[in-house]
Amino acid sequence: MLNLPEKLEQLEKEGNTIKVGIVGVGQMGQGVVNVISQMKGMDVLAIADIERQRALSIFEEVGISRKNIFSEDDVEACERALEKGMRVATGNAKLLPSLRSIDVIVEATGIPTVGAEVAFLSIMQKKHIIMMNVETDVTVGHILLGLAQRSGVVYTVGAGDEPGATKELYDFATSVGFKVVAAGKGKNNPLDREATPESLHKIALKKGTNPKMLCEFVDGSKTMIEMCALANATGLVPDTRGMHGPDCELNELTSTFALKAKGGILSQEGVVDYAIGNIAPGVFVVITTENKRLVQDLEYMSMGKGPNYLLYRPYHLTSVEIPLSIARAVLYGEPTIIPSGKPVAEAITVAKRNLPAEHTIDGIGLFDIYGSIEKAPVAHKENLLPLGLAEGAILKISVKKGNFITRAQVELPEESILVNLRRLQEKTFLD
């Protein structure tokens, strides 16, 4: 059997490349297009972005002449253009799943409502769907996975982001029989729950990134979302609401993420968490074992004296690794990281400022809310509002800054695919 690089090279020689469509070409989506442009056996044929010019520009950046880029929104006209060897740039995200020439869709918008719609349409059109949109996955990933399995296609969160990178370490650890004490990530930015795109505007410009995306990182929402996805894929749970998030150095991870009885911060083992220190951009799994011979071997192999040991990956390359998920989905029918069983964790919603009654919540990475994490049964019992459902929800009553928002306090948009998928998911997994 050919390995992955050899298989991709074979596809290139045969002229049978994997045909990719990408929805959302912000910083991460642009990176995916750029990486695929230098790969064998894979090609981006269509891009959808709310800013059509951005889709056109990234095609030109990777060497596609403007005359070879078709930019209309009619499905059949786009198909004819693709048959002629052209590329398609559109402002309509819903168009890409309908293109017969496309094998797989990458969803990279980070917007829960858009992600749900694109994923659902892709599955209905029997196309593999690679989610860079973890916000959607933690909201309706379980039901999307079930729909995909019934349609015979792959639904997966992509490689390269922290959930996928951590899952690689977790899979190794559990495959060879280690007990997982904790798994998580280093947080890239200082934690500021009150951050807004406005307060971060200058920093975002300096970094060349979107202020909204940076705000989602800084206010902690992204970390909560990512660790929720990891929890739902592994069965690990948050030890406490919002996780601990200690300040610690790399060499302190094994002693910090230990039971309180052993000098650590945990009330239980088998948790997801994060750390602020010199860990980012890496991910980690803290493991232990009671096998005496294995303890001796680990010490011999310079893993320390235990009882906890550290598995550490010092990087996650996000858009650079996404093509691996594309290839594995199309060639082998394999996901990278998917929800497993019933939901075990929930990303929940906290008021970032005082919010009045009848106010329409603006969404993740903006001014009104930030995310936290809780065990799914607790979140369900307390009727807490899933973070992914917050955007566009209308408050029935005022909510004070720092309070958790419940579903009883909001009116959700009835016509939303996201909301209806969530209701179906709850009926399937919670009733």
- Shared domain for 151 and 47, answered yes or no, is yes
- The residues, any chain, with a CB within 8 Å of residue 57's CB and separated by 6 or more, are none
Could you tell me if residue 338 is inside a domain?
no
Instruction: Please check whether residues 356 and 416 belong to one and the same domain.
Output: yes
d(CA 211, CA 129): 27
pLDDT at 242: 98
Asked if residue 63 belongs to a domain, the reply is: yes
Whichever domain contains 138, its CATH number is: 3.40.50.720
Per-residue 3-state assignment (H helix, E strand, C coil) for the chain: CCCHHHHHHHHHHHCCCEEEEEECCCHHHHHHHHHHHCCCCEEEEEEECCCHHHHHHHHHHCCCCHHHEECCCCHHHHHHHHHCCCEEEECCHHHHHHCCCCCEEEECCCCHHHHHHHHHHHHHCCCEEEECCHHHHHHHHHHHHHHHHHHCCCEEECCCCHHHHHHHHHHHHHHCCCEEEEEEEECCCCCCCCCCCCCCHHHHHHHCCCHHHHHHHHCCHHHHHHHHHHHHHHCCEECCCCCCCCECCHHHHHHHCCEHHHCCCECCCCEEEEEECCCCCCEEEEEECCCHHHHHHHHHCCCCCCCEEEEEECCCCHHHCHHHHHHHHHHHCCCCECCCCCCCEEEEEEECCCECCCCECCCCCCCCEEEEEEEHHHHHHCCECEHHHCCCCEECCCECCCCECEHHHEECCCCCHHHHHHHHHHHHHCC
In tens digits, what is the pLDDT along the chain, a chain of 431 residues?
689 999 999 999 999 999 999 999 999 999 999 999 999 999 999 999 999 999 999 999 999 999 999 998 999 999 999 999 999 999 999 999 999 999 999 999 999 999 999 999 999 999 999 999 999 999 999 999 999 999 999 999 999 999 999 999 999 999 999 999 999 999 988 899 999 999 999 999 988 889 999 999 999 999 999 999 999 999 999 999 999 999 999 999 999 999 999 999 999 999 999 999 899 999 999 999 999 999 999 999 999 999 999 999 999 999 999 999 999 999 999 999 999 999 999 999 999 999 999 999 999 999 999 999 999 999 999 999 999 999 999 999 999 999 999 999 999 998 899 999 999 999 999 76
- What pLDDT score was predicted for residue 207? 87
Q: In terms of DSSP bridges, do strands 394-395 and 410-411 run parallel, antiparallel, or are they unpaired? A: antiparallel
Which residues 6+ apart lie within 8 Å of 324 measured at CB? 4, 159, 160, 336
Amino acid letter for position 331:
L
Q: Clarify whether residues 156 and 24 are in a common domain.
A: yes
Same domain, 280 and 361: no
> Is residue 193 a part of any domain in this protein?
yes
**Would you say residue 137 lies in a domain?**
yes
Question: Could you tell me which of 312, 260, 269, 244 has the C-alpha nearest to residue 179?
Answer: 269
Question: Residue 288 domain-assigned?
Answer: yes
Q: Which domain holds residue 78?
A: 4-160+319-332
Do 94 and 173 share a domain, yes or no?
A: no
pTM given for the model: 0.96
If asked whether residues 154 and 11 sit together in one domain, one would say: yes
Domain with residue 351: its CATH number is 3.90.1210.10
186 in the same domain as 137: no
Is there a domain that residue 29 lies in?
A: yes
pLDDT at position 431: 66
Residues 326 and 236 in one domain: no
pLDDT, position 15? 93
Cα torsion angle, 277, 283, 284, 285, sign: positive
User: 285 and 409: one domain?
Assistant: no
pLDDT recorded at residue 208: 86
| Total domains, the chain | 3
Backbone φ, ψ for residue 317 (5° rounding) = -110, 10
135 near 225, Cβ under 8 Å?
Answer: yes
Q: Which of 332, 360, 391 is the last residue of a domain?
A: 332
Classify residue 242: in a domain, yes or no. Answer: yes
Q: Is residue 303 part of a domain?
A: yes
Q: Are 129 and 158 spatial neighbours (Cβ–Cβ below 8 Å)?
A: no
Based on the fold, state whether residues 8 and 121 are members of the same structural domain. yes
Asked if residue 156 and residue 211 are part of one domain, the reply reads: no
Adjacent-strand bridge partners of 42? 18
Last residue of one domain, picked from the residues 332, 356, 377: 332
What tokens were used for 82?
């693709």
116 and 190, same domain (yes or no): no
